[in-house]
């Protein structure tokens, strides 16, 4: 069945280091979304990518959608303690109606001050 995989599962960095998480889908996606979940919190929408090869930036965060629309990445430059949390990617689940997303298992980021 359809799978969305994220690597790494965990990442520990020193504050100021860069961080990258990768998302790979078994199927071509019409769009991909990224969410951040702080410890004890709920997922919060960060961004959506739609176009092949699209790159979007939000301050220190850079999001990229692959040319084949099957993979994506999130890069954080110079991490801060406020970046701590789990980052999820999500794409449309085919065979279902709209509003039906399949999530990756997430990358949990910890930042040592």
Partner 1 sequence: NAGVTQTPKFQVLKTGQSMTLQCAQDMNHEYMSWYRQDPGMGLRLIHYSVGAGITDQGEVPNGYNVSRSTTEDFPLRLLSAAPSQTSVYFCASSVTGTNQPQHFGDGTRLSIL
Residue from 12, 51, 57, 105 binding partner 1 (CB under 8 A)? 105
What would the x/- binding string for partner 1 be over residues 73 to 102, using CB under 8 A?
---------------x-xxxx--xxxxxxx
CA distances from 29 to 14, 51, 58, 68, 105 (A): 33, 10, 22, 9, 17
Query: Smaller CB distance to partner 1: residue 58 or 100?
Result: 100
| Distance of alpha carbon 14 from alpha carbon 3, whole angstroms | 31
**Closest CB 103 distance from partner 1, rounded Å:** 4
Query: Smaller CB distance to partner 1: residue 58 or 80?
Result: 58
Which residues, 6+ apart, have CB-to-CB distance to 104 below 8 Å?
4, 5, 6, 23, 88, 89, 90
What would the x/- binding string for partner 1 be over residues 23 to 62, using CB under 8 A?
-------xx-x-x-----xxxxx--x-x------------
Query: 94: which DSSP letter?
Result: T
Token couple for 20: 């990258």
The residue ranges that bind partner 1 (CB under 8 A) are 9, 30-31, 33, 35, 41-45, 48, 50, 88, 90-93, 96-106
């Amino acid at each position: 069945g359809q799978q969305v995989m994220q690597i790494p599962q965990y990442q520990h960095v020193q504050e100021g280091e860069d961080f990258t998480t990768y998302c790979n889908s078994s199927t071509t996606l019409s769009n991909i979304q990224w969410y951040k979940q702080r410890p004890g919190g709920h997922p919060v929408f960060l961004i959506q990518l739609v176009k092949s090869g699209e790159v979007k930036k939000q301050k220190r965060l850079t999001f990229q959608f692959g040319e084949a629309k099957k993979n994506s990445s999130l890069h954080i430059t110079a991490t801060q303690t406020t970046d701590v949390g789990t980052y999820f990617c999500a794409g449309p689940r085919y065979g279902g109606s709209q509003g039906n997303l399949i999530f990756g298992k997430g990358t949990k980021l910890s930042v040592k001050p």
